[in-house]
Amino acid sequence: MSAEVGVDVRHVSKEFGHVRALHDVTLQVPRGEIFGLLGPNGSGKSTLIRILCGLLKPTSGEATVDGLDVETQGEEVRSRIGYVSQAFSLYRDLTVDENLDFFSSIYRLKGRERAERKQWAIDLTHIAPYRDRLAGVLSGGWKQRLALAAALMHRPSVLFLDEPTAGIDPVARRELWDLLFGLAAEGVTMFVTTHYMDEAERCGSVAYLYLAQLIVGGHPQALKQLPEVTPPGMRRVEAECSEGVASLMASARTLPYVRASTIFGTSLHLLVDESVSNQKIDDDLESFGIGSVVVRDIEPTLEDVFVRLTEIRAAELEASS
Amino acid sequence: MMNGFTAVFRKELTQMLRDRTTVMFALAVPVFELILFGVIDMNAKNIPTVVFDQSRTQASRRLVEQFGATSFLKVVGYVPSRQELQHAIVAGDAQVAIEIPPDYARNLTAGRKADVLVLIDGSDSSIANQALAAANGVVLQNGVRDLMERTGRGSQSEAHPIMMFNPDMRSANLLIPGLVAILLTFSGTILSAFAIVKERERGTLEQLMVTPVSPLAVVLGKILPYLGLAYMTLLLVLLLMRFLFRVPFNGSVVLLLALSVVYVLALLSFGLLISSRAGSQMEAMQQAMGIMLPSVLLSGYIIPLNSLPLPLQMISQILPATHFIKIARGVIIRGASFGDLWQPVLALLAISTVLIAASARAFKKTVS
């Protein structure tokens, strides 16, 4: 395995009894990259993270983290990774300081190094004012910072974050991501699951899991250019309207050349026949008498990409069964 | 093998001492129960008794006096009819009712059989037994005395029972050594089960398992503080037993404390076994109840082992509490030595070994 690869997953499958949680998943994450794993709830994201952290054994296939096999070199892997889980999973009845002391001790940090690393993690996450608070009384954002601090003291080379920003406010979310970028710059590989498309856009590469299978992977920009995202003979436009976007959508769907429509704020995103001009669309939409409309060309969003690819996959599965 | 033991132990100790509920549960509840059970006396006294005396003679009054003279029965009233006699029992005003027929004195002087009707409320079996014994005693005594008066001869044989170890039949002496075992069952099993289940419920166990900490270090680091706490409970209860309730301690304290370690280990292992199956503290509590109830009912603590049907006796044999109660009563009350108690000791050791092995296996499965 190349030392340049932070996480290497090859043909990994996992079954729980008759339930298939992961099927033949293969992906690579270069060292120092932020990798985003997306997919609906229950698609297998957490299962994959748990396999990579050594909490679960894959039914077949193999995976390495930082060049080490997760099954045969589990203990070595565990000392090189950090894990921030979906729900806050540090000790609520211990103070911030006590939590950090505990984890630094578990990770075999000793004496001066322990003190230095603890201070480093406290400075990095700016959690110093809360050192004597019980972890349980911290707000969501500070809890995540504490979890991050606890997962970083032992200088992990790969950091796993399972929906780290679920349920925290936008400012805390932004700050957490700034922190992650800083760590990635230092060469830490990040493996992040998320539901937020804006977070996915920030990743060096993303992959999308659907029904236990990886259906697409790559740089966000490259994914938007995929031909199947915008079907042949179709193009995407945005129609910004002055009022009544909801009733406009209902009306827009009656137009013969509109394949799909979605609301984004006060705009509609439409998938339309390539042959129809923006002027024609504009006129048709305004003819419903709901309000004034401005139509312009747009790129698909990452959400468009995943929604479209999921539809294609679902149709394929339908056809094959 | 033991990486992280000190860290886990220190963390668990901090959490345990910070959690007032746990410490209260482990120390205050046993003390409260001990006092409750120590004060009550299982031997029924002053059972309320009503009398329907149709004879109204000196002989019948003497009989009633004799009934009242036993400390078990207390005459609380006279009623004028049999209906009211029955009503007093049904209503719960009295638990014993005595009906003396009109011809009682006549029959007695004529040397005929003089019947007395004694109604006993059977809804409380322990009271019923004592009332029956008291009533039989009085009547038998009367019969023997009458016979002696008439024949002018003394009784031929007389039993002289000597109550060993507990001469005044104090319930405390019987109950408290057994109670020690029961109280430890509660704190030992529930606390150790909770210690692990709480971590699973809150996701911290998973967080722990992605670190290089060894599973053995987690188990021992988590269990040892509770072993200490359970032991504190034991010492507290023993001190109260000896100095507050003045239950004599006839055997070796060291022997009891040493054997308690085996017992507490069995309980903690059982708690650990529960924790490997239970997903929540609620589930753990319910499963722990599964051993606590039989431990109270089938261990010989309240119901004598011999009066259990055979299948239940077999169950009682696999309960650690059964054997520890034998050991505790033996050492505390009878001053038994290790040699006297080898049977329960051996059984307790065997059960502990099986439980420890099973819990270790179960835990290994949970974390891997």
Report the DSSP pairing between strands B47-53 and B96-100: parallel
Give dist(CA A153, CA A155) in Å, integer: 6
pLDDT of residue A68: 94
DSSP 3-state assignment of A239? strand
Give dist(CA A151, CA A84) in Å, integer: 7
Pairwise CB contact (< 8 Å): A90 & B207: yes
Q: How confident is the model at residue B284 (pLDDT cuts 50, 70, 90)?
A: confident
Dihedral pair phi/psi, residue B175, rounded to 5°: -80, -45
Pairwise CB contact (< 8 Å): A108 & B202: no
DSSP 3-state assignment of A63? strand
The DSSP code sequence of A49-62 is: HHHHTTSS--SEEE
Residues 6+ apart with CB under 8 A from A178: none
ipTM above threshold 0.85: no
The residue of chain B with its CA nearest to that of A75 is: B212
Residues of B within 8 A of A89 (CB-CB) are: 202-204, 206-207
Q: What is the mean pLDDT of residues B195-216?
A: 87
Q: Which residue has the tokens 């070994």?
A: B353
Q: How confident is the model at residue A236 (pLDDT cuts 50, 70, 90)?
A: very high
Q: Does B113 touch chain A (CB under 8 A)?
A: no
The least confident of B119-123, B242-246, B359-363 is B359-363
pLDDT of residue A63: 95
Give dist(CA B57, CA B68) in Å, integer: 17
Pairwise CB contact (< 8 Å): B18 & A93: yes
Give dist(CA A302, CA B333) in Å, integer: 79
The residue of chain B with its CA nearest to that of A49 is: B210
CA dist list (Å): A44 to A7, A15, A313:
17, 11, 16
CA–CA min distance A48, chain B (Å): 14
Q: Which of B278, B274, B270 is nearest to B230 (CA)?
A: B270
Q: Which residues of B255-265 are buried (b: 16+ CB within 10 A; e: fewer)?
A: bbeebbebbbb
Q: What is the mean pLDDT of residues B93-120?
A: 84
Q: What is the mean pLDDT of residues B99-110?
A: 85
Phi-psi sector, A268: left (phi>0), alpha (psi -120 to 50), beta: beta
Q: What is the pLDDT of residues B86-102, one digit of tens each?
A: 888 888 888 888 888 88
Residue B200 has pLDDT above 90, yes or no: no
Give dist(CA B280, CA A292) in Å, integer: 58
CA–CA min distance A73, chain B (Å): 11
Q: What is the pLDDT of residues A87-117, one digit of tens each?
A: 888 999 999 999 999 999 999 888 899 999 9
CB-CB contact of A66 with A158 (8 Å): yes
Max distance between CA atoms of chain A, in angstroms, equals 76
Round the average pLDDT of chain B to a whole number and report it.
Answer: 83
Q: Which residue has the tokens 């505390």?
A: B332
Q: Does A108 touch chain B (CB under 8 A)?
A: yes
User: In this structure, which amino acid lies at residue A169?
Assistant: D
Q: Which of A197, A165, A166 is nearest to A180 (CA)?
A: A165
pLDDT of residue A265: 87
The least confident of A185-194, A203-212, B318-327, B350-359 is B350-359
Q: What is the pLDDT of residues A266-286, one digit of tens each?
A: 899 999 999 999 999 999 998
Q: Does B3 touch chain A (CB under 8 A)?
A: yes
Round the average pLDDT of chain A to a whole number and report it.
Answer: 90
Residues of B within 8 A of A94 (CB-CB) are: 11, 14-15
Q: How confident is the model at residue A1 (pLDDT cuts 50, 70, 90)?
A: very low
Q: What is the mean pLDDT of residues A129-145?
A: 93
Q: Does A72 touch chain B (CB under 8 A)?
A: no
Residues of B within 8 A of A87 (CB-CB) are: 203
Quick one: angle between helices B320-332 and B253-277, nearest 10?
Answer: 170
Q: Does A107 touch chain B (CB under 8 A)?
A: yes
DSSP 3-state assignment of A321? coil
Best residue of B207, B214, B364, B365 to probe chain A, by most A CBs closer than 10 Å:
B207
Give dist(CA B34, CA B54) in Å, integer: 47
Q: Does B17 touch chain A (CB under 8 A)?
A: no
pLDDT of residue A2: 47
Q: Does B311 touch chain A (CB under 8 A)?
A: no
Structure tokens given for A137: 């009384």
Give dist(CA B101, CA B116) in Å, integer: 7
Give dist(CA B68, CA B9) in Å, integer: 62
Global pTM value: 0.76
Full strand arrangement of the beta sheet holding A81-84: A81-84, A158-162, A189-193, A34-38, A205-210, A213-218
The least confident of B127-136, B153-162, B211-220, B317-326 is B153-162
Q: Which of A151, A166, A187, A22 is nearest to A86 (CA)?
A: A166
Residue B302 has pLDDT above 70, yes or no: yes
Give dist(CA A280, CA A298) in Å, integer: 17
Give dist(CA B175, CA B183) in Å, integer: 12
The residue of chain A with its CA nearest to that of B3 is: A106
Q: What is the mean pLDDT of residues B323-327?
A: 92
DSSP strands (E only) in A17-130 = 19-30, 34-38, 60-65, 68-69, 81-84
Q: Does A75 touch chain B (CB under 8 A)?
A: yes
The least confident of A154-158, A192-196, B151-155, B308-312 is B151-155
* Beta-carbon count within 10 A of A311 CB: 11
Residues of B within 8 A of A78 (CB-CB) are: 210-212
Q: What is the pLDDT of residues A246-257, one digit of tens each?
A: 888 988 999 999
CB-CB contact of A193 with A46 (8 Å): yes
Q: What is the mean pLDDT of residues A215-235?
A: 88
